[in-house]
Amino acid sequence: MVKSNGLRVVLFPLPLQGVINPMIQLAKILHSRGFSITVIHTRFNAPKASSHPLFTFVEIPDGLSETEATTEDVTLLLTLLNQNCESPFRDCLNKLFQSAEKEKERISCLIDDSGWVFTQPLSQSLNLPRLVLNTFKVSFFTNHFLLPQLRHLTLLDSKQDDPVEEFPPLRKKEVLQILTEVLDSYSDMMLEQTKASSGLIFMSCEELDQDSLTQAREYFNVPIFMMGPSHIQFPASSSSLLSPDESSISWLDKQEDKSVIYVSFGSISTVSKSELMEIAWGLSNTDQPFLWVVRGCSDVQGKEWTEAIPEELMERLKEKGKIVKWAPQQEVLKHRAIGGFLTHNGWNSTVESICEGVPMICLPFRWDQLLNARFVTEVWMVGIHLEGKIERNEIEKAIRRLLLETEGEATRERMELLKEKVGSSVKQNGSAYRSVESLIDYISSF
């Protein structure tokens, strides 16, 4: 049992799986160092309080309708959440201060997500330091604030595949795609509130972000901490919002070493019915076993997605692979049978894959996924890029290249080296280990 240091940290994650996971990891680190933890959360996508009996969970109303809560439009979701949650959050924080006073406990700081734009002025008015946890690669978070300026610049004259100097190693077409999701006014507010914060925490490490840390330190001018891939120290997917299908593991136990391709596109992105069919044919044609997470189809609503796949193909798929609605991903990637990961390159999935030394086939859909996939394939060279081609032949070819050909072996070797480097960052005296120590000193000093 860890001795309490008399300090409480309040966490306020955005209600997205990719944000809740690192936030709970951070809570575990802080709790192991004596901090008491309160997690304020929305009703929508509420974390499972019963999985974390040592933390206090407080729910606030979010005012989202059923349709709003299931949108894939993250910008719209964030706008609505910011509109609806400000006043309930303020009431909740005031109550926490009152009870902390009664119990003679001190609330040391608020740690939330950069996507909340009302929390900085509020915490300032209460004299409460606010730190911002980021679930993006440092270079994405920093450079995406520069995007509105690029709208009118050189992009117009360049070709679709030209690199964009201000945002390496992205291509013009990718920057243009990301720009369609940038809401300039929201982005400006987020930047202003981030610069006014007491510090930034990234779920990354120097080994993955050397390219941009100096620039980020100058740009934000606040202390930056790199907590590293903390799930290595605090395993288990206890922060999963959906119940993982544990039979995935017993199925993997029956497969040969490094033979299985794991397919998952995270918690938000879905594919259309025709894209689903292409992936199904691609997987079926390779003759390799696969574990495929299918949460549904973007254009098949109200009925089981499996109805979209003809019976004959479904039979073939069942012979070779396993399809689940949600997998215990961290355990899956750790399994000896996994040979590759066909992924959307969300930052969590990318880091989890690196930490287990699993090379990737990259199929990014949007936002930071586009940058992560370029780093995986062109900078670290630990994966193959599908270049957005959701076509059976392309998928089959990529799986073969990765699992059966010498090119795959070389990719795997590079991945092993990267895995070692990143893994050592959280070991004693590693870069992330030292950064977490400074973060704890910093928070304790408030």
Give the residues lining the site for ligand UDP (CB under 6 A).
Answer: 16-18, 21, 237, 240, 244, 264, 266-269, 293, 326-327, 329-330, 346-349, 352
Q: How far is the CB of 241 from ligand UDP (least distance, A)?
A: 8
Q: How far is the CB of 86 from ligand UDP (least distance, A)?
A: 24
Q: How far is the CB of 42 from ligand UDP (least distance, A)?
A: 16
Q: How far is the CB of 264 from ligand UDP (least distance, A)?
A: 5
Closer residue to ligand UDP in complex, CB, 15/408: 15
User: What order do you get walking across the sheet with 338-343 strand by strand?
Assistant: 321-324, 290-293, 260-264, 338-343, 360-362, 383-385
State the CB neighbour count (10 A cutoff) for residue 416. Answer: 13
* Residues 420 and 427 sit within 8 Å (Cβ to Cβ): no
Q: How far is the CB of 346 from ligand UDP (least distance, A)?
A: 2
Closer residue to ligand UDP in complex, CB, 166/275: 275
Q: How far is the CB of 244 from ligand UDP (least distance, A)?
A: 6
Q: How far is the CB of 65 from ligand UDP (least distance, A)?
A: 22
Closer residue to ligand UDP in complex, CB, 206/245: 245
Give the span between the Cα atoms of 121 and 302, in whole angstroms.
Answer: 42
Closer residue to ligand UDP in complex, CB, 234/442: 234
Closer residue to ligand UDP in complex, CB, 140/347: 347
Q: How far is the CB of 277 from ligand UDP (least distance, A)?
A: 21
Q: How far is the CB of 298 from ligand UDP (least distance, A)?
A: 14
Closer residue to ligand UDP in complex, CB, 204/264: 264
* Residues 12 and 109 sit within 8 Å (Cβ to Cβ): no
Closer residue to ligand UDP in complex, CB, 19/96: 19
Give the span between the Cα atoms of 235 and 213, in whole angstroms.
Answer: 27
Closer residue to ligand UDP in complex, CB, 326/380: 326
Closer residue to ligand UDP in complex, CB, 21/42: 21
Q: How far is the CB of 356 from ligand UDP (least distance, A)?
A: 11
Give the span between the Cα atoms of 164 and 219, in whole angstroms.
Answer: 19
Closer residue to ligand UDP in complex, CB, 35/116: 116
